Amino acid sequence: KTSVCFFPTECFLHLIFSSLTILQISVGAIYLDECPIQEKIPIYLIVFGVTLLVNPVNIDPRSIKNDFLKKGLECLRWITTLFLFCWFIAGNVWVYSVYQPSYSKNATDVSSYCNKTLYLVAFSVITALNIFLGLTAICCVLCIYCCISCFRTCFIDADDDVPADDDVPADDDISGDSAE
C-alpha cells in the first residue's frame, strides 16, 4: 500500500503548492479580461496552474505494474516538463516585458492597464520560480564541484603518493648485505 505523503513536511509542502496553483488558476480566470497591456498574462496563469495540477510528476511510477503504462507515464512526464519549461520562458517574456504596468484604468487609454492583483500574482509566481531555479542551479554547480574535488582527492592525488619505480630501493639495498 502506498501513501500520498511520506512525511508531514511533504504533506505540508504539497498542500501549499496545490493552494498556490489553485490561486494562479483563480486569479487568471477572475481577471481574464483585465490586462489589455498583455492579454496573455491571465492565460499564462490559467494554463500554467492547470498543467501543474494535472502534471504526472505527482504519480509514483512504482505504483504502476504495467510496463507499457510506466513508459507512457515517463514519456508524458518529459513532454509535460518540456511544455512547462517553454511556457515558463514565455511567461517571463510576457510579464517582465510590461513591468510595471499602469494599475489604474484610464478612460482615455486602457492599453497600458493591467489589474494590480493579476499582475502581482503573475510577477510573484515567475520571480519565485526564477529564484528557486537559480538556487537549484547554484546547488547543482556546488555538488558537481564537490564531486570533482572528491574525485581528484581520492584518485588523482592518490596516484602522486605512490612511489615511482626509480624511488623503490633495489633488492641489494634492502638486505643490508653488501659485497665489499
Residues 126 and 136: beta-carbon distance below 8 Å: no
Residues 42 and 35: beta-carbon distance below 8 Å: yes
Distance separating alpha carbons of residues 99 and 176, to the nearest angstrom: 85
Per-residue pLDDT tens digits for 115-147: 999 999 999 999 999 999 999 999 999 999 999
Distance separating alpha carbons of residues 115 and 131, to the nearest angstrom: 24
DSSP 112: T
Per-residue pLDDT tens digits for 57-67: 767 777 778 88
Residue 1 has pLDDT above 50, yes or no: no
Q: Which amino acid would we find at residue 124?
A: S
Per-residue pLDDT tens digits for 5-37: 567 887 888 888 889 999 999 999 999 999 999
Per-residue pLDDT tens digits for 44-88: 999 999 999 888 776 777 777 888 888 888 888 899 999 999 999
DSSP 165: G
The strand pairing partners of 113, in sequence order, are 102
Residue 111 has pLDDT above 90, yes or no: no
The full 3-state SS of 46-109, as one line of letters, equals HHHHHHHHHCHHHCCHHHCCCHHHHHHHHHHHHHHHHHHHHHHHHHHHHHHCCCCCECCCCCCC
Residue where the block lists cell 500554467: 48
Distance separating alpha carbons of residues 83 and 35, to the nearest angstrom: 24
All residues at 6 or more sequence positions from 165 whose CB lies less than 8 Å from its CB, including other chains: none
Q: What is the pLDDT, as a whole number, of residue 4? A: 56
Q: What is the pLDDT, as a whole number, of residue 117? A: 96
Residue 42 has pLDDT above 50, yes or no: yes
